[in-house]
Structure 1
Amino acid sequence: MAFHKKEEFGKKEQELAEFAKALSHPARIAILKVLAQRNECICGDIVDTLPLAQSTVSQHLKELKNAGLINGTVDGPRSCYCINWKAFEKFSNDIGALFLNLKTKNEKACC
């Protein structure tokens, strides 16, 4: 049976990896751009904007929501989504700190 070693890493590393994973598909980046432009959006509007099937868009929205990058509400057959800006601020700070830390360590590197 496979054992995931993800638990061996700190909470901050795990959270950062989850955020990065949620952003790792071009369709999700496109969805976030649509949401940022419109400030909120009905799933059908996103489907009309992207060259993807409704079920595919829904799967990507689910991944973004599970990662906490977007919020969503269901009102009957309509699902409305918006960006979770607090989560993006946290992600931005965490990734900025990671890059700064890596850069500082690289200054001491041999190559």
Structure 2
Amino acid sequence: MTGYLTTHVLDTARGCPAQGIKIALYRVSGNSHRKIAEAVTNEDGRTDSPILPQGEFKPGTYELVFFAGEYLRASGLAEGEPLFLDQVPIRFGMSEEDSHYHVPLLLSPFGYSTYRGS
């Protein structure tokens, strides 16, 4: 088995999955960011497949960027310009070559959290 990465977004203000959020995955090396994947959350707040599947996994530093602003505006939870949260970056490391990494985003208009899930 080789490693892979999954993610999902939960709307903690409304208590439901966040559908339609674009997510970009970057590999980070020093000051360099290289986009390696992009996906959109489905009705369950998840991507339809791992954002970094087996076979493409390499240990290293990564960054997920969640483009949450459009979702927050459309849901009626956030207004005004600029939004307090628009793009939410999460930088993390993956060192275990044979592990499933799961990095979710728990989102509200004025705060967010994440953790290493299962």
TM band (smaller chain) = under 0.3
Which structure has the higher relative contact order (CA within 8 Å, separation 6+)?
2
Larger radius of gyration: 1
Q: TM-score, normalised by structure 1?
A: 0.22
What is the TM-score normalised by the length of structure 2?
Answer: 0.22
| Structure with greater proportional helix content | 1
